[in-house]
A and B are shown apart, each in its own frame.
Chain A
Amino acid sequence: MDDQYLKDVLAGKINAYRYFVNKYQDMAFSLSMSIVKSELVAEEAVQDAFVRAYQNIRSFRKKSKFSTWFYKIVVNESLRKLKKKQLDMVPLDDLPEPGISIKEVLQPLHEVEQREIINDLLLKLPPSESLLLRLFYLEENTQEEIKLITGLSISNIKVTLHRARKRFYAILKESYKNEYNSLL
């Protein structure tokens, strides 16, 4: 489907580009939020990413999926807009092993509440960890595709994913231990 609309855009049918905006805007916004942690900045980054993708669409060589190529642009635009912040994070070394199950904590909650909690937790993670969790679990990109999008090496991706999972569980337990305890 992407290929057909891509051909139309390259042939000069500008309106065909709406297809890509509709299809990828939410995921692009999610990825950008992982990095910039601000809705306003993420919106700007996504808008700029779409415009930049259009400007460079003739350079898309189809060696990867369109989404991989486009998400790389989103990541680059988001990094451009990123201002360094200090996040309040529990140092990883001090964390006890969580010993919890996500299912047990979140299952009883409504889907909307689950989504809010998940995004709240992802916002507390460092940009690189939050981004990799979204790319790997949400978008189901392979490690090779993540390497193309982020520029990280495979070993770096594996290490960061492992660290991200560990920190995610730790923050989950720390943030929702009351809910967790009340479920027991």
Chain B
Amino acid sequence: MINSDDKDLRAFLKKGLINIPTSNMEERVMEKVEFIAQRNISVKRNLKTSWVFLICAIVLFPLAYWHLYSRVDFYGATEIGNSIKELSGFLFPAGILFFSVVILLLVDNLIKLSSNKNPGY
């Protein structure tokens, strides 16, 4: 028959706390924690910069594009200009489509990164 005096068992198992043998656990952990904290700050700063550049690209690229498109007739006098004029009917809309897709993908990535509260280790 088991002499299962639970109070005795509890009292003795209370002595079973093992002290961690290494004395520098705190320093080792804090070193990694500080690295993570610094990295998080750096990631946030990079995200802000990325948003600024993205907005600039959304504004400036269409401006540059429109400027080029509006000067297509300028090249009409030369042989090269004739080729450009022929291709412009296709190239410019394709360029706008490509630009839109790239911008949407970048915006999607930045939104995900910005909303991620734990950028990672």
Contacts and interface: CB of A to CB of B under 8 A. Distances in A.
**A and B: real partners?**
yes
Interface of A: 12, 14-15, 17-18, 21-22, 25-30, 33, 39, 43, 46-47, 50-51, 54-56, 58-59, 97-103, 106, 111, 114-115, 118-119, 122, 133-134, 137-138, 165-166, 168-169
A133 B16 CA distance: 10
B18 A26 contact: yes
Contacts of B29: 17, 21, 47, 50-51
Nearest to B16: A118
Contacts of A106: 12
Interface residues of B, number: 33
Interface majority SS (helix, strand, loop, mixed), chain B: helix
A55 B36 contact: yes
Given A51-B121, A115-B16, A169-B3, 5 more contacts: A26-B18, A55-B118, A115-B15, A118-B16, A165-B2
A49 to B, nearest CB: 9
A-B pairs, 4 with minimum CB distance: A137-B13, A29-B20, A118-B16, A50-B29
Contacts of B48: none
Given A47-B29, A51-B32, A30 B2 contact: no
Contacts, number: 112
B10 interface: yes
A155 to B, nearest CB: 19
Contact of A101 (B3, B14, B15, B120): B3
A54 B36 contact: yes
A165 B4 contact: yes
Interface in B6-27: 8-10, 12-22, 25-26
A76 B49 CA distance: 37
A99 B2 CA distance: 5
B34 interface: yes
B37 A14 contact: yes
A118 B26 contact: no
B13 A58 contact: no
Interface in B31-64: 32-34, 36-37
B20 to A, nearest CB: 4
Nearest to B21: A39
13 contacts: A18-B26, A26-B17, A29-B19, A47-B25, A47-B29, A55-B118, A102-B8, A102-B12, A114-B15, A118-B12, A133-B13, A137-B9, A138-B13
